[in-house]
Structures are given as structure tokens and as C-alpha cells.
Amino acid sequence: MKKRVTEIERYVIDAVRKRRLEIGVSQKELSMRINVDVAYVGHVESINSIEKYNLNQLNEIAKALECRITDFFPDPFVDMDCIEEYNRLHPNKHRNTTRRKL
């Protein structure tokens, strides 16, 4: 199966899922709390999907799950070059993220 999200994206998705399960919130309940389609959270959590949370959604998720938005991010960071990984996973998108040699 082809990888669809970067290491940092997977980290964030997994951190949200972990917190959601820790406090007993279903995917449906979370989707209602952050005002997204009922299926959206399930799509984001699926390893086969390219769906992911944006920063605005993560802020609302932190409120809904009563934690800090920073709880969803690694400390201090992931080691992989996420821009390079993103460009490899999505070769036809956002070519402006390609690094230029100085």
C-alpha cells in the first residue's frame, strides 16, 4: 500500500487519535464537537486516506479534547525532512516547496 501522509502528518493524526481514545470520545463525537462531517475524522484516521487536519481544526480539537495544541506535535521535531518527503509523496503538487540551491 502506498504511503499517503508524511511522518509529521502521521504523528499528528496518531496523537489526536490517542488523546481522543484516552478520554473516551468517539470519532462521531469529535466530528460533532469540531463541526465537520461525521465521516471526516474517520477519513483522517485511515491510513489509506490523504485527508489530514489543518491548523484551525487542530486548535478546535485541542479545545474539544481539553488539551494543548502542542500535545499533538513531537518534541522537539521529527528527524525526517518533511518537505522532501511531501514532495516525493505528492510530485504534482506545490512545487513551490522545493528547495532552491543558494
Give tens-digit pLDDT for 84-99. Answer: 999 998 888 755 555 5
Tens digits of residue pLDDT in 52-82:
999 999 999 999 999 999 999 999 999 999 9
pTM: 0.87
Domain that holds residue 28: 7-97
| pLDDT score recorded for residue 15 | 98
DSSP, residue by residue, 17-79? HHHHHHTT--HHHHHHHTT--TTHHHHHH-TT------HHHHHHHHHHTTS-GGGGS-SS--S
Retrieve residue 43's grid coordinates: 477519513
Is 2 domain-assigned? no
Q: How confident is the model at residue 101 (pLDDT cuts 50, 70, 90)?
A: low
List the one residue out of 25, 34, 92, 38 whose CA is nearest residue 61. 34
Is 102 domain-assigned? no
CATH code for the domain of 75: 1.10.260.40
Is 79 domain-assigned? yes
Distance of alpha carbon 99 from alpha carbon 102, whole angstroms:
9
